[in-house]
Amino acid sequence: MLRACVLTYGTGWEESLPYAEFAYNNSYQASLQMAPFEALYGRRCRTPLNWSGTGDSRIFGPGMLKEAEEKVKQIRGRHKTAQSRQKSYYDRKHGEVSFEPGEYVYLRVSPMRGLQWFKFKGKLAPRFIGPFCIVARRGTVAYQLDLPKELSDVHDVFHVSQLRKCVSNPDKHVSH
């Protein structure tokens, strides 16, 4: 949101900072199911922005109110745009993934750099090994794999986040 203010207002972005704060604090948040101001104080924010039609505008000056209303509208619009962009980034990587028994998947062996998992360590260690056949589904997000004898000391049930679908020919196995 601050980047949008800087791009819009240029060198005078510091003057729009209170409007950006106001727009953020009074915007509906899906996680809270209300605006942050309302969550913090237990009531809706009473602001002079909507007083332009009630006759109270002479207290603050109609020019200042119109300018503030325009800035808040712009910032709210950009805030919604930024939210939808972030949502699309999240949705792109977090789709619903499910596998059927008999499908082949690759197994992630390096979830964190520096840790040694499955006897593989180092910068050039493979990130995925396999493909392995799915034997059964265990729960809603776990799958049991048919692992070879070399990996017999590893538990054979894995979370769906550790699996990647095999789209190539599963007959081409790489030695473990």
What pLDDT score was predicted for residue 100?
Answer: 93
CA separation, residue 28 to residues 83, 120, 169 (Å): 11, 47, 49
Q: H-type helices in the chain, by residue range?
A: 2-9, 17-25, 36-41, 57-60, 62-93
What pLDDT score was predicted for residue 7?
Answer: 74
The segments of the chain whose pLDDT lies below 50 read: 51, 56-57
Same domain for 147 and 65? no
Flag whether 10 is in a domain: yes
Residue ending a domain, among 31, 66, 93, is: 93
What pLDDT score was predicted for residue 172?
Answer: 63
Collect all residues with Cβ–Cβ distance below 8 Å to 71 and sequence separation of at least 6. 16, 19
Flag whether 67 is in a domain: yes
Q: Are 118 and 99 in contact (CB under 8 A)?
A: no
What pLDDT score was predicted for residue 76?
Answer: 78
Distance of alpha carbon 127 from alpha carbon 121, whole angstroms: 10
The model carries a pTM of 0.48
Distance of alpha carbon 19 from alpha carbon 99, whole angstroms: 48
Distance of alpha carbon 116 from alpha carbon 111, whole angstroms: 10
Same domain for 35 and 89? yes
Same domain for 86 and 109? no
Residue ending a domain, among 93, 112, 134, is: 93
What pLDDT score was predicted for residue 113?
Answer: 54
Task: Report how many domains make up the chain.
Answer: 2
Q: Are 103 and 123 in contact (CB under 8 A)?
A: no
Distance of alpha carbon 164 from alpha carbon 139, whole angstroms: 18
Q: State which amino acid sits at residue 76.
A: R
Write out the residue range of the structural domain in which residue 16 sits.
Answer: 2-93
Q: What six digits make up the tokens of 34?
A: 């209300």
Distance of alpha carbon 149 from alpha carbon 96, whole angstroms: 31
What pLDDT score was predicted for residue 3?
Answer: 75
Residue ending a domain, among 72, 93, 114, is: 93
What pLDDT score was predicted for residue 51?
Answer: 47
